[in-house]
Amino acid sequence: MLIRSVELYKTVFEPGEYPEPKEREIAFAGRSNVGKSTLLNTIFRRELAHISSKPGKTRSVNFYLVNSKYFFVDLPGYGYAKASHQEIKRWQSLITDYFKSRPNLNLVVLLLDSRHNLQKKDIEMLQWLQYYSIPFVAVLTKSDKLSGNQLTKMVNNFKKELESWGSPPIIPVSAKTRKGISELLNVILGS
């Protein structure tokens, strides 16, 4: 699947202000600083998603229109300790409302740092996905920072950890080398 066109379609800060659904909708979720914006820019082959040196900058739900028929949706990062309690509650409310109200949400791309096992906030996201019966694929980011043996070990660890969550596909990716990007696009767009 080639991405022929992409544009930032809408930025949403409040529940319920979402655009009309498209044919398919794929949401990208992950802890702050896991590389969501970097991965999206790698997929898009251009810098549309804002990348900051400070984690937790995505505070809205950003809808990117891909090939005029799909939405790729960048959700706020979770687990950022420096945000205020009120701001964290607002993000949680926004994400919960998003999950409840999007009939064409086909898949969540759950980004996990390949260098670390599941964290408490990752498990909370898995619980949300399970509660709302949303299928997901696990994407291990920053895989270029591990040796081949280390990456194999971490993939096996994630397979064990995610067994009780339905054994989703696990795809190691690197925004730096583009490793795994084609495989990810094939999985999320079903081509």
pLDDT of residue 83: 61
Mean pLDDT of 126-147: 94
List Cβ neighbours of 171 (8 Å cut-off, separation of 6 or more).
Answer: 137, 138, 139, 140, 180, 183, 184, 187
Contact in structure between 1 and 185 (CB atoms under 8 Å):
yes
Q: Most confidently modeled of 44-48, 93-97, 148-152?
A: 148-152
How do the domains of the chain map onto residue ranges? 6-189
Give yes or no for residue 53 having a pLDDT over 90. Answer: no
pLDDT of residue 57: 52
pLDDT of 97-109, one tens digit each? 999 999 899 999 9
pLDDT of 176-191, one tens digit each? 999 999 999 999 887 4
pTM over the 0.85 mark: yes
Contact in structure between 35 and 142 (CB atoms under 8 Å):
yes
Superfamily of domain 6-189 in CATH is P-loop containing nucleotide triphosphate hydrolases (3.40.50.300)
Mean pLDDT of 89-102: 87
Task: Using the CB atoms, write b or e for 141-179: b if 16+ within 10 Å.
Answer: bbbbebeeeebeebbeebeebbeebeebebbbbbbeeee
Task: Look at 186 and 49; give whichever has higher pLDDT.
Answer: 186
User: Residue 20 carries which DSSP code?
Assistant: P
**Structure confidence at residue 32 as a pLDDT band (50, 70, 90):** confident
Give yes or no for residue 80 having a pLDDT over 70. Answer: no
